[in-house]
Structure 1
Amino acid sequence: MAAIGIDYGTSNSEVSYFDGQQHHFIQLDPSIDGAHKIRSSVFIYYENELPTPPVSMIEAKVAQIKRAINDQIDKAKEGYYEAPDPKEQQRYSDRIGTLRAEFHNLPELQRRAIEILLKDMTVQDLPLKQLVETGKFAFGEDGFRRYLKTPDKGRLIYSPKNFLGANLVAGQQQAFIGLIAKQLEFFRLSAQEQLNMTVDSAVIGRPVKFHGTRGQEGNEQAIEIMTQAAKQAGFSQVEFLEEPIAAAYQIERSLDKQTNVLVADIGGGTTDICCITLSPDKQANLDRQQDVLSVTGARLGGMECDKNLIIKSIAPTMGRGLLMRNGLPVPPTYFSDMCAVDDIPKLNHFFSEEYWLDIAQTKSDVKESSLLARLLTVQEDKLSARLVNSARLAKEMLSSKDSITLPLHYVELDYDVDIDIQALRSSMQPWLSRVKALVKECLEHSAEAPEMLFITGGMSLSPIVRKELGEVMLPHLPLMQGDAFNSVCEGLAIQAAKLEQK
């Protein structure tokens, strides 16, 4: 039996097994050699026909057909009473009898309703719960490639983790349990095959505060969803560990004395800060909560920077800031809604026909209509996730370059956007201010001052982030070197090994 650590991230996920001496990372993307990280996004799709529409949609369509039949019956009755002779009356009487038979033939009405619905229905019309129960799943690059090739064949859930603490409507909570269970099962079976051992336990990383606006209630909901999903995925035992504490367990192995360390874990969806006392003498201890001096977190991740970069540098080339004939600007909500890949209701609304009509009408009301035509293409072709992904790539490229030209040829032929480091820095400032406020909060609540600083998570690779935290805010703290991408997962695997021995 083996216990694994699962870093279930907003942008990427990874799995590791610790044998007491070294870590064994599980390859999760078979299309890429040595790729142990995988996109957290999931593409749920149908290769052929869509499934039978939900009962509620069928019932609504049957009611609509019945109303139409009733209208025909009423017209036939009018014809009967106005008929000039008995022969004509009999014709109308027969017609009324046929229509009444149709009205009461429920199986035939349901068949007609399903036929009509399937003719016009798209994947976007299906409730997420039905999609999860009946669709096929593709993970990582495989799923993202399928989405880029055939977006109309399925639905891309860009970051399932972002929804766990949200206010989920009826059926959505069960839908996310089923969806995440598929991911966790994929992780478990991949580990089982590569380790050649039965994998039945896991320690899963969790943010201090899950993405959402419901506080502790949202956190409890998120943990409940993950717990049920893990059970469905075949794990008999599962525990959760806050991600910055997991990262601390990994760097503890490099220390030679007791040290208070400030850990800043800045990922794709959340930022978590903790101040913790680490010591080589405590590495074998399973419960370390007494060593946590302070911990805090918020939904402040790299995805917010990606969206801000779109608003700052890409949206103006799509019509943001243009004035309509009445002197008012093009609605800025067009562009925030366009980026809402982590908000299913808002994104579905953006992809609706009503939204298309609204943008099209606005397009006819501005001089530079060619710019809004690009926005309309993103809306029509459902390119939001691809655009956010492009912004993420631009952000990463600007970590080592002063300026780049970002190709957006999937929106329009020869459509390129020039972005420089100043634009990125400007777009990141509001986000950075909030990150620094979290660091300050953690320091204020810690009974002891930190002696070292460790920055981890994908955003820790940004020179802008490292400079703001390490050189500007905390220049007196030595910056520990470590693996920005793997430290959390390695710490989770270390804790899983302790759990296995318990």
Structure 2
Amino acid sequence: MSDISCGVDFGTSNSTIAYYRGDRLRLVPVEKHHTTIPSALFFERISNAPHYGREAVDLFLEREKGRFMRSLKRVLGTSVMKQGTMVNGAPMHFNKIIGQFIKHLKDKAETDAQQEIESVIMGRPVHFIDNDPVGNKNAQEELRIIAQNVGFKNIDFQFEPIAAAFAHEVNVSGEQLALVVDIGGGTSDFTVIRLSQKYLNKLDRSGDILANTGVRIGGNDFDKDLSLNAFMPELGYRSTYGDKNLPVPLKFYYDLSEWSKINSLYTPKNLMLLRQYLGQSHDKTRFSRLLNVFTQESGHILLGVVEDTKIALTSDEVHEAPLDFIENGFTVTTAKSVFEEAITQEITNVANAATQCVQDAGVRPENIDLIILTGGSTEIPAVQLKFRELFPNATVSEENKLDSVGVGLAYDSKRKFLGKATSVR
């Protein structure tokens, strides 16, 4: 029997891989010293050679010729998965694209461990797609086939919030009833679970998991809300054109505010339409900026600036975003209050899903001892405030927000593939 197993957290925004060998856990540096890597790829124009993570993002921002892709996890379980996409003029299936990224993680871990890794626990959201059992089943099976194709032989799955709970359990005193709040790039997932160090060696934890729920809302949706409320109006969003004062089509702006849809916008037909609308626009200055984004194919750069603004507003009251690549001297200034107002409904929907999870567990909010926040969007003050209000008696743990799921998946891989579990040191 092999003495090594791993956990892969393939996230919408960021990914990690960690392995267990013997009694030691190792969170793998997947990009230089970083243990997290953006879930992004860049294929060079001529050779189609892939680049990953921050390197992929940098190549794109430096305007290198090629195809940039991000938020691939949201394709799983959808019709787009089977359709594939064009990469530098040639068709490519998404199972190959995602497979290259996961193979990259596997290679990094095997190089670090200096041995082959055959056993993996793949993380998965509670719902890949809301209210679509068939789509959820298909998404997991697609991910299983991808893992198999890249060389994993023993494959199992674990809900991401449960994995995050496992990562925190080694530090729990006594027994605590925990609610895990995992807000990723594409989904928000919740689990109510009993935690205790005395449970560390239990192979079957199903009795300790009281409930889990999820909703397809995440950091990418916060980006979209911020984009539509603060940035797109400066590109002519909700402006009018023509003698009848018709509104310009909103689809351009909605798709430009969603990572997974940007590439599909750059078509000759769309450019022709935008030039026609500009000729009849009642706000030519702003609408011409939209045309510039399409002409330059700089939508990912724009949404990256939106994301940077979101991150800045977790601590700053006001942020000024430079957009010189669209127009010389062009900036957008956004107040934290505008951002928080833009995401109010999303936070409410996330909070409702968490409350439903606690109800499904058959416990009351005041019974929750510990809130485990994981995922970058739990840094947003309005999110933290909401959960502190909902569960006033709970201690809030914010350790390892970005890599706790990967750690917990590796911990679970030891339990399932290597026999008796031991505590993390």
The TM-score with structure 1 as length reference comes to 0.77
2:391 matches 1:474:
yes
Offset at residue 159 of structure 1 (A): 1.2
Residues 354-374 of structure 1 deviation map (CA, whole Å, 9 limit, x = unaligned) = 111222111122243121111
Distance 1:453 1:146, change over 3 A: same
Among 278, 300, 312, the alignment partner of 1:385 is 300
Within a 5 Å distance, the mapping from 1:355-394 to structure 2 comes to 355-394=270-309
Offset at residue 482 of structure 1 (A): 2.0
Contact 2:309–2:319 (Cα < 8 Å) also in 1: yes
- Give the RMSD, CA atoms, in angstroms: 1.9
Contact 2:35–2:403 (Cα < 8 Å) also in 1: no
Listed as ranges, the gaps of 5+ residues in structure 1 are: 49-134
Residues 205-252 of structure 1 deviation map (CA, whole Å, 9 limit, x = unaligned) = 100000x36611111111111111111111111111100000111111
What is the DSSP-based 3-state SS (H/G/I as helix, E as strand, rest coil) of the residue aligned with 1:276?
strand
CA distance in 2 between partners of 1:22 and 1:466 (Å): 32
Offset at residue 25 of structure 1 (A): 1.9
The amino acid of 1:385's aligned partner reads H
Residues 105-131 of structure 1 deviation map (CA, whole Å, 9 limit, x = unaligned) = xxxxxxxxxxxxxxxxxxxxxxxxxxx
2:2 matches 1:7:
no
What is the DSSP-based 3-state SS (H/G/I as helix, E as strand, rest coil) of the residue aligned with 2:240?
coil
Among 93, 96, 99, the alignment partner of 1:181 is 99
Match for residue 239 of structure 2? 322
Distance 1:170 1:161, change over 3 A: closer
What is the DSSP-based 3-state SS (H/G/I as helix, E as strand, rest coil) of the residue aligned with 1:6?
strand
CA distance in 1 between partners of 2:138 and 2:273 (Å): 36
Contact 1:13–1:38 (Cα < 8 Å) also in 2: yes
Residues 175-209 of structure 1 deviation map (CA, whole Å, 9 limit, x = unaligned) = 22212221121111111111222211111110000
What is the DSSP-based 3-state SS (H/G/I as helix, E as strand, rest coil) of the residue aligned with 1:498?
helix
Contact 2:130–2:215 (Cα < 8 Å) also in 1: no
Match for residue 119 of structure 1? none
2:80 matches 1:168:
yes
Among 392, 404, 415, the alignment partner of 2:330 is 415
Offset at residue 393 of structure 1 (A): 0.8
CA distance in 2 between partners of 1:428 and 1:214 (Å): 22
CA distance in 2 between partners of 1:263 and 1:372 (Å): 43
2:225 matches 1:308:
yes
Offset at residue 272 of structure 1 (A): 0.1
CA distance in 2 between partners of 1:283 and 1:407 (Å): 49
Match for residue 146 of structure 1? 59
2:388 matches 1:438:
no
Offset at residue 476 of structure 1 (A): 2.6
Contact 2:130–2:216 (Cα < 8 Å) also in 1: no
Contact 2:42–2:66 (Cα < 8 Å) also in 1: yes
Offset at residue 337 of structure 1 (A): 2.0
Residues 443-482 of structure 1 deviation map (CA, whole Å, 9 limit, x = unaligned) = 1111234322221111111111101111x22223222342
Residues 262-283 of structure 1 deviation map (CA, whole Å, 9 limit, x = unaligned) = 1110111100011011121111
Contact 1:165–1:213 (Cα < 8 Å) also in 2: no
Among 197, 201, 211, the alignment partner of 1:284 is 201
Offset at residue 150 of structure 1 (A): 4.1
Match for residue 126 of structure 1? none
- Greater helix share, 1 or 2? 1
Number of residue-to-residue matches in the alignment: 407
Residues 139-191 of structure 1 deviation map (CA, whole Å, 9 limit, x = unaligned) = 1112122223346x432221110100212375539822212221121111111
Match for residue 321 of structure 2? 406
Residues 297-332 of structure 1 deviation map (CA, whole Å, 9 limit, x = unaligned) = 011000000011010001111111323242233222
Match for residue 18 of structure 1? 20
CA distance in 2 between partners of 1:204 and 1:469 (Å): 28
Match for residue 47 of structure 1? 46
Contact 1:165–1:214 (Cα < 8 Å) also in 2: no
- Greater strand share, 1 or 2? 2
Residues 403-447 of structure 1 deviation map (CA, whole Å, 9 limit, x = unaligned) = 011011222221111011011111111111110110121111112
Match for residue 378 of structure 2? 460
Distance 1:169 1:163, change over 3 A: closer
Contact 2:81–2:93 (Cα < 8 Å) also in 1: no
Offset at residue 21 of structure 1 (A): 5.4
Distance 1:23 1:461, change over 3 A: farther
CA distance in 2 between partners of 1:43 and 1:139 (Å): 7
Match for residue 257 of structure 2? 339
Listed as ranges, the gaps of 5+ residues in structure 2 are: 86-91, 420-425
Match for residue 108 of structure 1? none
Within a 5 Å distance, the mapping from 1:64-213 to structure 2 comes to 135-150=48-63, 153-168=65-80, 170-172=82-84, 175-210=93-128, 212=129
CA distance in 1 between partners of 2:199 and 2:253 (Å): 50
The amino acid of 1:196's aligned partner reads Q
CA distance in 2 between partners of 1:23 and 1:241 (Å): 18
What is the DSSP-based 3-state SS (H/G/I as helix, E as strand, rest coil) of the residue aligned with 1:364?
helix
Match for residue 395 of structure 1? 310
Match for residue 262 of structure 1? 179
CA distance in 1 between partners of 2:29 and 2:258 (Å): 30
Offset at residue 335 of structure 1 (A): 0.7
What is the DSSP-based 3-state SS (H/G/I as helix, E as strand, rest coil) of the residue aligned with 2:239?
coil
The TM-score with structure 2 as length reference comes to 0.91
